[in-house]
Amino acid sequence: MKTNYIFKSERLGFRNWNAKDLDEFAKINADEEVMEYFPKPLTRNETLALIDRLKKHYNEKGYTYFATELLETGELIGFIGLVYQDYQSEFTPATDIGWRLKSRAWGKGYATEGAKKCLEYAFKELQLTTIISVFTEKNIKSENIMKKIGMEKIGSFNHPKLKAYPNYEKCICYQITKTNWQELK
C-alpha cells in the first residue's frame, strides 16, 4: 500500500494520523525512557486522545506533530512537526516545533533531519514567519537538536501547563525566524 505523505525528507515521511497508529504510538508514549522529560508516560487512552487532538489540529491549521515514518520500511517512529500553542507565556501564542521518537530511532539523526524538513515546510509552504521550541530545562538532547537546526535561545519560563509538576515546570524556549532560516541555507 502506497502512503500519501504530506511531504518527505531523505529518509522520513510525514503524514496525518490514522486509527492504525494507536498501537505503536501507545508503546512509544508508554516508554519511560522516551517520556523521561514529561510528567509521566501516557496510557493507551491518553494516546488515543492525543492522536485525536493532533488530527483535529491538522484539519484546523494544515499542520500538526506529524506521524513520522521511515520511508524504507513504513515503520512509525513517532512524531516530528508543528503545533500552534496558545498557553499563557511571553513566547506564545506561537507555532512550536517538536518531536518524540521511539528510543530505537535515537542517535540516527532522524529528529534533526525531520525538524529541518518541518522548518522548510513551515516557512515555504505555510508561510509562517517564526517558530519556537520549548523543552524542560534538563532535556539537553532536545536542546542540541534545536541548536543543530539553527534555533537560538530566547529565554526561560515556568510552563503554565506544568504547575502541578515542579520537576518539569521550568522550561527554556528557542526560536527561529524565516529570515534567520533563509540565512542558514
d(CA 73, CA 58): 24
Q: Is the pLDDT of residue 1 over 60?
A: no
Q: Locate 20 and state its grid cell.
A: 492504525
What digits encode the pLDDT tens for the residues 32-67? 999 999 999 999 999 999 999 999 999 999 999 999
Do residues 10 and 112 touch, judged by C-beta distance below 8 A? Answer: no
In the Cβ-directed half-sphere of 34, how many Cα atoms lie within 13 Å? Answer: 20
Q: Please indicate, yes or no, if residue 2 is contained in any of the structural domains.
A: no
Q: What is the model's pLDDT at position 140?
A: 93
Report the domain count for the chain. 1
Q: What is the model's pLDDT at position 126?
A: 97
State the average pLDDT for the chain: 96
Q: Please indicate, yes or no, if residue 1 is contained in any of the structural domains.
A: no
% residues pLDDT > 70 (the chain): 99
Q: What is the pTM of this model?
A: 0.95
Q: What is the model's pLDDT at position 112?
A: 98
Expressed as residue numbers, the domain containing 143 is: 7-184
% residues pLDDT > 90 (the chain): 95
In the DSSP assignment, the letter for residue 67 is E
**Once rounded to an integer, what is the mean pLDDT over residues 174-183?**
96
CATH of the domain at 41: 3.40.630.30
